Structure 1
């Protein structure tokens, strides 16, 4: 954060989010962290949303949750990618006096003034958490590599991206330019397998690309890649089937993908159907290793097992 850290810590202490003891303990554990506030967030003592919400209140600024918003492309285009990344802001709409932008640091007045001067327009500023700004920058302005990194961060573990097709003798390959999409698709399949999903639904919509997993019979919306990557993702999965045409987008198609995730075989039944906003894809996941059930797994007692 750019604002004076002592001031921020004093505010957090005044509103009861942290204690003096917790601040002193965090100061002793900096270990290369950029600030004491970062240590407090990293240790789970306070969330970055709580910090930004508290600072927004001090600055008499509205706080919003931009992760729950679908921002239209015409709004996103109001600020170029370089400027959004440089100033760490997201345009969210139009207000009474000008463009409404979300920032993660409500006390960084210099950034707000500089952006207003650069755009030569009035800005209405609202606040959100820095993490939500980072996620939105990737969602609306990011690359496939960044989307994969964000998905890896969501998983919260170091996963092996070495998917294998079929019996493992044929690796998933592609041109160097395709590598980010291959990595993103790999992360998507790994996350679905890790969560025990039975289905993956890739659904193009008017203003976003929706990704949903069916877990324990319930559809759950997941972190979605940027909408502009939807065609590349669908095409990559079609290529992996070896039978579906990436050129045909007007007719339903069916295919099958066989992969191994950490040496465990996984069978995916793939179906696509054209919609008004692009091809929709559904994948049914079947973990072949889970089919090898013994008598105990089928509910037999030990006496029954001895009989058989």
Structure 2
């Protein structure tokens, strides 16, 4: 509009636009910085064009209650100032009245209608100084040249070394204040609180912690950091500043500071210096003694997405690399919250991120963004669920899909179908290990044959603390010869004990005296080859599937963790804390039963025979006959049959014949009772198979009885 009215030239406008984009500032500030036009002329022109009044804040008396409606950070962000409130309408002085985002955010914060008026930036800054009591340094920062401003976005903070003095300063401010005000809260905009919050955040970034916990209790208020997976107390704070400190964090996260009854989630963007940009994911939870806050630090500079640095053994690295290079299939990464699943998935898709691949991700939340990858934020409240995102992805012609988590049957079914139709799909599950993951998917409602067809690999992982390299030493608590039996019970093999040295960290300044610095992962990788596919299709029990996988080369989480103990990377305590030792759980007759193949019409069980072998269907279909009539069918892989003779110690009461080609496993009948008593997972499947078959047979017999009754000839009356 300024150019059309002849106020500026096209060249001046282009220069101002380029400067505003480079500096991340408004076009108005760029124009005034270039001395293209006076601020007063811009205000006058905007007033005429938009039909808005011009005011001078310095000539007005502003009610303090009006000031309190708009927090300083929000006002500063959009260069606005609250002038007056009347009839639920807030008059808002603006340097740029076309900034609709500012109007919307102030409306959301105040729940008032907004009436815009225009003034200069200088007038607004003078109002900040007078009413918000900003510091001289803050005041001067508004008058820096645009070129001096940081190009990063977000609130800028500086490193603070002496947090203790800030705590004392905040406490002194509280003690000097009015007693009634102390019971309420210290102002969140008070300089000591701002400095204290900045100190807590910068210290966390400097120490490379993953989470900050702000925790109020009845008689205490503390800050804890999670470093390398372990929580420790960083600060004990005066109880009376808790409301002010929490309010300050809520302001930074754009949360409603007046709402203290329901949980809230937000995000903080900070700049530490001119180069380091850090995000915080904020969760606020009302508790009995105040609001508990947890801040997850998302520092991309600390993110390691190099597959070669994830801590895989050479064998596991080769298998993982092979699985992610497949053109299609489902790759699952499992483990509890905080076990590094997201980092592993990001590393995998980042390794595949090139111009030849279309990559789509559905995440809740999107923790880090990557160039070349289309990332979608899952928002259940508007219907953008994982399942909905997956359905949309299939219409976007992708090669690679990442689903943050499989939570329900619908998501699982779509993911598996996508993997079976030419897409490489990555996802996660919250399960304990690889074999239990298969059972979890089947329990969700996906047939075993579909799971075996889609799955290419399952990776289960845990994060353990890494021994500090600066203070590593032998752990005197362990003596290999003395503790040989105990070590073997923990999962070591005899060969592992040769030249074994168990290490620990003594504690030094480099590791804050903790003996640990950084983390390393323990992995359990199950490559889904033909043997594993057959085991999944047959729905083998978890223990049996584990045995098959170990036979095919899978190393358990405990075994991988102990290998890192042997290498001096982590401590034995960490390995024992994060993994479990899986002992031999199944007897040989259940682990390696005989497998029999039958052709169409072959008799597997004959009515009247006295043998007691019981069976499990692997593949195919069978029919059950009584007195020559078909009474039921067996068609579900994994279903048991033939157990009644062993249970009742009676001859066979039915004949079972192969319908087409079939494969079954045969188990000794004299071991059935032992199986039912000692192996509940198998017992459950045997009993449910039996009950299902009896119900099916009863229905068939009832139908046959009805047909026979209908065919009977009624007697003639009087005969």
Normalised by the shorter chain, which TM-score bucket? 0.3 to 0.5
Higher relative contact order (CA 8 A, sep 6+): 1
The structure with the largest alpha-carbon Rg is 2
State the TM-score, normalizing by the size of structure 2: 0.18
State the TM-score, normalizing by the size of structure 1: 0.40
